[in-house]
């Protein structure tokens, strides 16, 4: 599966994450500062909840009429002289793009940041076909230079690295000789990349929002790299997830505002680039040839089902930036290029439960993700829905857990049994009890007491106290 | 006013002091409290783990238990949140959905009930000590009760309040998460304890027995000199 990163099992990945103090420092610092910035940027609007509802309506409307808007989009792209390809699978998308590369005899591709091309492993496909691929987003560039380290965050892909680590990567791989100052590092990357833009045969981008009415698509960046990727090479290929579109510019404006405020706490990013088809006669720059690749890769299976709302996602990562689990384990622990709450919902849908069955449980269902989502995806409810599917349809829950839950069902069905169970609890736990606590619990309590004390059951349950009190008057 | 208490299984079995304080406090505020013996658990442990069928058994039992209650009040934001979730769980069920709705409409978390229904902001409590307060996730985010505990605590005489850094961040309990994802839970509760320590408070107060059991259990294990109390116990102090 192309979106999969690493080969370790979930537990090993988590352990690795927890032990990576550099990464954890970077993630916690980023969460703290992004949290404040997001808060300020959303409060500035004054009526954030109305904006969210509006965003949700737009996304729901698009999903409910996706066939219509996709057709409109492709017709309008074709009208402007662009080529449109619908890829049902990652392989089909890669084959098509490889076909364009071969036809153009391209030796070098420059790329703007795109999660969907990560999802389909496009870089690998093109490199195997003998075409070099250069990532131009600074974060992606750092990762590519560092032997294709996978992204750990959908907006800030190199979040897990601090500036000293980036300096070391540049020194080792690029012969960089300056300090870890971000300005110096960025300047070096700029110099290296400038040549790449000028010599590239093809530019490849992702797509934040395609506009169906005009056949345009927008790119939201802070570095301006997407402008160079789309204006210098003669051929341009844009790859988009099939749900990433809006009816008109009016809706795009709303979603861009929700996106930049939620993602980076900015009113607007430095660049919001909107492009429509190949260069026309009066244009001074732009590609001579334009291809739009629309990727399904499992999305149409989500459509119309109980997880449809996940397709509302505009990839802002606000949910990741507030997630207390992500905070401590980092993005690579999820084993998918989609991490955090959105990754825990999306990865099992796109990559299957066999690969990602642990992810829906990597959440306390605290709801912080749902609270910040600018398009109101009920993320914690979808995580819960996954658990239900795993237990009831997939039958993938552990047997020990099933037994505990079966017993729970019995106890809950019979208040008598419950009362008896809680009555004998102090005696049953007596062998493990010292004073008023249990420090080494049996069975399911073991994992609890490895970390914390567990209270010994009260000898006089609350219900006994209440009953005795009723009998003996109100004195206690 | 007649109030039917939903003590919750955790309070019944492990934190009876919070239950007792709840009863005494409500009575002092003029309520007549009853406790139906047939109450068990709100269904959350099974529900949150994905065992909806098993959870529904508990839920139906709870709905019937509180069928004739005028108000259902509980010293747990999380369990009341679960009650509010019942109508969604039984959506489309001609018998149980309307019953679930009725239960949800009359169910309140303790501080929410005191402030919103009884319209009391000062319960006349006195508590000497420096305290901090953990805002539990379900109670604040899902049930939407944020202000009530703050209002009540601000009127407790003698109480010195200090804000908990990262108070909105989950303590790492999450039901079965605490044992299923023990490694991650440990990191989360450790950060919580560290934040509590930073405040210099002698007491950590909360309105949810589950969060308190988690944070308190870790505080005890680490041997920190911080006492953990349910908000009902503080409001019942005089």
Contact assessment for residue A294 and residue A242, using Cβ atoms and an 8 Å cutoff: yes
Tell me the CA distances in angstroms from A164 to A27, A179, B91, one per residue in order: 15, 8, 54
Q: Which of A308, A306, A307, A331 is nearest to A319 (CA)?
A: A331
Are A154 and A288 found together in one domain?
A: yes
CA angle A128, A129, A135 (to 5 degrees): 70
Q: Is the dihedral of CA B211, B216, B219, B221 positive or negative?
A: negative
Decide if A323 is inside a domain: no
State the total domains in chain A.
Answer: 2
Are A217 and A96 found together in one domain?
A: yes
**Mean pLDDT over residues B53-57, rounded?**
92
In this complex, the residue of B47, B169, B178 whose CB is nearest that of residue A324 is B169
**A369 CB within 8 Å of a chain B CB:** no
**Mean pLDDT over residues B44-63, rounded?**
93
Which residues share a beta bridge with A85? Answer: A293
Are A424 and A294 found together in one domain?
A: no
Give the domain extent around A189: 68-301
Instruction: Pick the last residue of a domain from A267, A301, A335.
Output: A301
Determine the Cα–Cα distance for residues A186 and A222; give it in Å rounded to an integer: 13
A314: helix, coil or strand? coil
Decide if A306 is inside a domain: no
How many of the other CB atoms lie within 10 Å of CB of B224? 14
Decide if A284 is inside a domain: yes
Instruction: Pick the last residue of a domain from A277, A301, A325.
Output: A301
Structure confidence at residue A404 (pLDDT): 82
Enumerate the residues of chain A whose CB falls inside 8 A of the CB of residue B134: none
Contact assessment for residue B46 and residue B109, using Cβ atoms and an 8 Å cutoff: no
Structure confidence at residue A378 (pLDDT): 98
* Residue A474 pLDDT level (bands cut at 50, 70, 90): low
Contact assessment for residue A355 and residue A293, using Cβ atoms and an 8 Å cutoff: no
pLDDT of A444 > 80? The answer is no
Are A257 and A120 found together in one domain?
A: yes
Structure confidence at residue A473 (pLDDT): 58
CA angle A151, A154, A157 (to 5 degrees): 35
Determine the Cα–Cα distance for residues A9 and A7; give it in Å rounded to an integer: 7
Structure confidence at residue A261 (pLDDT): 96
Decide if A317 is inside a domain: no
pLDDT in tens, B99-141: 999 999 999 999 999 999 999 999 999 999 999 999 999 999 9
Q: How far is A45 from chain B (nearest CA, A)?
A: 21
Instruction: Pick the last residue of a domain from A232, A266, A301.
Output: A301
* Among chain A residues, CA nearest to B61: A413
Structure confidence at residue B124 (pLDDT): 97
Instruction: Give the phi and the psi of residue A78 in degrees, each rounded to 5.
Output: -60, -40
Contact call for B20 and A362, based on CB within 8 A: no
CA B113 to chain centroid, in Å, comes to 12
Contacts of A377 (CB under 8 A, 6+ apart): A309, A310, A312, A313, A342, A345, A370
Phi-psi region of B172 (alpha: psi -120 to 50; beta: other; left: phi over 0): left
Contact call for B37 and A415, based on CB within 8 A: yes
pLDDT in tens, B157-178: 999 999 999 999 999 999 999 9
Report strand pairing: A454-455 vs A289-295: unpaired
* Residue percentage of chain B with pLDDT more than 70: 100
DSSP string computed for A326-371: HHHH-GGGGSBSS-HHHHHHHHHHHH-HHHHTTGGGS-----HHHH
Decide if A309 is inside a domain: no
pLDDT of A476 > 70? The answer is no
* Residue A1 pLDDT level (bands cut at 50, 70, 90): very low
Determine the Cα–Cα distance for residues B191 and B171; give it in Å rounded to an integer: 8
Q: Would you tell me which residues 25-64 of chain B have a C-beta closer than 8 angstroms to some C-beta of chain A?
A: 27, 35, 37-41, 43, 45-55, 57-58, 61
A369 is in an annotated binding site: yes
Decide if A15 is inside a domain: no
Phi-psi region of A317 (alpha: psi -120 to 50; beta: other; left: phi over 0): left
Are A290 and A439 found together in one domain?
A: no
**Mean pLDDT over residues B59-65, rounded?**
95
pLDDT of A187 > 80? The answer is yes
Tell me the CA distances in angstroms from A188 to A113, A181, A196, one per residue in order: 19, 11, 13
Enumerate the residues of chain B whose CB falls inside 8 A of the CB of residue A405: 46, 49, 51, 54
CA angle A414, A417, A418 (to 5 degrees): 85
pLDDT of A206 > 80? The answer is yes
Q: How far is A248 from chain B (nearest CA, A)?
A: 34
Question: What CATH number should be reported for the domain holding residue A92?
Answer: 3.40.50.10420
pLDDT of A120 > 60? The answer is yes
**B91 CB within 8 Å of a chain A CB:** no
pLDDT of A466 > 90? The answer is yes
* Residue percentage of chain B with pLDDT more than 90: 98
How many of the other CB atoms lie within 10 Å of CB of A422? 21
In this complex, the residue of B53, B54, B183 whose CB is nearest that of residue A18 is B183
Provide the residue count of chain A: 476
Q: How far is A424 from chain B (nearest CA, A)?
A: 11
Determine the Cα–Cα distance for residues A119 and A354; give it in Å rounded to an integer: 18
Decide if the complex's ipTM is over 0.90. yes
Contact call for B48 and A388, based on CB within 8 A: no
pLDDT of B190 > 70? The answer is yes
Decide if A182 is inside a domain: yes
pLDDT of A146 > 80? The answer is yes
Contact call for A391 and B49, based on CB within 8 A: yes
A373 is in an annotated binding site: yes
Q: Would you tell me which residues 291-330 of chain A have a C-beta closer than 8 angstroms to some C-beta of chain B?
A: 324-325, 328-329
Q: Give chain B's domains with CATH numbers.
A: 2-116 (3.40.50), 121-235 (3.40.50)
DSSP B141: I
Enumerate the residues of chain B whose CB falls inside 8 A of the CB of residue A379: none
Are A288 and A433 found together in one domain?
A: no
Structure confidence at residue A300 (pLDDT): 97
**B75 CB within 8 Å of a chain A CB:** no
**Mean pLDDT over residues A415-435, rounded?**
82
Contacts of A78 (CB under 8 A, 6+ apart): A84, A215
In this complex, the residue of B35, B50, B184 whose CB is nearest that of residue A466 is B35
Q: Which of A408, A326, A394 is nearest to A359 (CA)?
A: A326
Which residues share a beta bridge with A293? Answer: A85, A239
Q: Supply the pTM of this predicted model.
A: 0.95
Structure confidence at residue A283 (pLDDT): 86
Contacts of A57 (CB under 8 A, 6+ apart): none
Contact assessment for residue A65 and residue A251, using Cβ atoms and an 8 Å cutoff: no
Contacts of B232 (CB under 8 A, 6+ apart): B18, B21, B22, B25, B75, B110
Determine the Cα–Cα distance for residues A172 and A185; give it in Å rounded to an integer: 13
Contact call for B40 and A454, based on CB within 8 A: no
A313 is in an annotated binding site: yes
Contacts of A331 (CB under 8 A, 6+ apart): A151, A152, A153, A159, A160, A320, A339, A340, A343
Are A121 and A265 found together in one domain?
A: yes
* Among chain A residues, CA nearest to B49: A387
pLDDT in tens, A21-53: 999 999 999 999 999 999 999 999 889 999 999
pLDDT of A211 > 90? The answer is yes
pLDDT of B10 > 80? The answer is yes
Determine the Cα–Cα distance for residues A340 and A333; give it in Å rounded to an integer: 9
Decide if A55 is inside a domain: no
pLDDT of A233 > 70? The answer is yes
**B15 CB within 8 Å of a chain A CB:** yes
């Amino acid at each position: 599966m192309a979106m999969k990163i690493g080969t370790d099992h979930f537990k090993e990945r988590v352990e690795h994450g927890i032990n990576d103090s550099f990464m954890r420092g970077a993630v916690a610092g980023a969460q703290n500062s992004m949290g404040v910035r997001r808060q300020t940027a959303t409060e500035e609007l004054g009526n954030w909840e109305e904006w969210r509802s509006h965003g949700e309506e737009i996304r729901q409307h698009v999903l409910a009429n996706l066939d219509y808007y996709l057709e409109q989009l492709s017709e309008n792209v074709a009208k402007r002289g662009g080529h449109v390809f619908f890829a049902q699978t990652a392989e089909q998308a890669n084959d098509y793009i490889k076909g364009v590369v071969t036809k153009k005899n391209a030796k070098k591709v420059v790329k703007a940041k795109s999660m969907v091309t990560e999802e389909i492993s496009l870089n690998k496909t093109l490199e195997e076909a003998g075409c070099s691929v250069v990532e131009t987003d600074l974060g992606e560039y750092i990762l590519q230079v560092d032997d294709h380290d996978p992204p750990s965050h959908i907006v800030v892909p190199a979040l897990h690295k601090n500036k000293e680590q980036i300096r070391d990567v540049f020194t080792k791989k690029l012969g960089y000789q300056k300090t870890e100052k971000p300005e110096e590092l960025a300047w070096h990357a700029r110099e290296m990349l400038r040549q790449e833009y000028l010599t590239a045969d093809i530019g490849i981008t992702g797509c934040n929002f395609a506009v169906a009415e005009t056949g345009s698509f927008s790119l939201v960046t802070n570095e301006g790299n997407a402008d160079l990727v789309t204006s210098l090479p003669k051929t341009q290929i844009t790859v988009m997830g099939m749900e990433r579109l809006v009816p008109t510019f009016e809706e795009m404006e709303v979603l861009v505002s929700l996106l930049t405020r939620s993602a980076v706490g900015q009113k607007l990013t430095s660049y919001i680039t909107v492009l429509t088809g190949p260069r026309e006669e009066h244009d001074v720059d732009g590609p001579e040839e334009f291809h739009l690749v629309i990727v399904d890769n499992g999305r149409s299976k989500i459509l119309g089902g109980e997880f449809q709302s996940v397709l509302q996602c505009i990839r802002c990562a606000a949910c990741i930036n507030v997630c207390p689990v992500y905070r401590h384990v980092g993005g690579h622990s999820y084993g998918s290029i989609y991490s955090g709450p959105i990754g825990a919902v999306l990865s099992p849908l796109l990559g299957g439960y066999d690969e990602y069955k642990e992810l829906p449980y990597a959440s306390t269902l605290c709801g912080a993700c749902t609270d910040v989502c600018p398009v109101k995806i009920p993320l914690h409810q979808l995580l819960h829905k996954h658990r239900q599917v795993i237990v009831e349809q997939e039958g993938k829950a552990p047997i020990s857990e099933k037994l505990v839950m079966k017993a729970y069902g019995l106890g809950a069905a019979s208040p008598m049994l419950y009362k008896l169970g809680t009555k004998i609890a102090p005696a049953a736990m007596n062998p493990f009890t010292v004073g008023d606590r249990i420090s080494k619990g049996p069975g399911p309590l073991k994992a609890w007491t490895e970390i914390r004390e567990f209270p010994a059951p009260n000898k006089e349950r609350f219900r006994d106290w209440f009953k005795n009190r009723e009998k003996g008057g109100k004195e206690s | 006013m007649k109030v039917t208490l939903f003590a919750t299984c955790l309070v019944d079995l492990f934190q009876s002091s919070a239950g007792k304080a709840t009863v005494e406090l409500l009575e002092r505020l003029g309520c007549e409290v009853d406790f139906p013996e047939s109450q068990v658990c709100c269904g959350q442990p099974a529900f949150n783990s994905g065992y909806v069928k098993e959870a529904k058994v508990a839920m139906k039992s709870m709905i019937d238990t509180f069928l004739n209650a005028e108000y259902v009040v509980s010293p747990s934001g999380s369990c009341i949140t679960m009650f509010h979730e019942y109508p969604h769980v039984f959506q489309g069920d001609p018998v149980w959905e309307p019953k679930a709705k009725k239960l949800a409409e009359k169910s309140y978390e303790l501080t929410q009930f005191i402030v919103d229904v009884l319209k009391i902001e000062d319960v006349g409590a006195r508590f000497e000590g420096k305290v901090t307060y953990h805002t539990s996730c379900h109670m604040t985010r899902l049930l939407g009760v944020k202000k009530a505990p703050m209002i009540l605590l601000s009127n407790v005489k003698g109480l010195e309040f200090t804000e908990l850094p990262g108070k909105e961040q989950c303590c790492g309990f999450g039901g079965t998460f605490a044992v299923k994802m023990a490694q991650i839970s440990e990191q989360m509760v450790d950060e919580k304890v560290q934040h509590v320590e930073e405040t210099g408070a002698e007491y950590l107060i909360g309105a949810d027995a589950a969060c308190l059991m988690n944070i308190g259990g870790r505080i005890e294990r680490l041997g920190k000199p911080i006492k953990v109390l349910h908000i009902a116990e503080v409001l019942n102090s005089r």
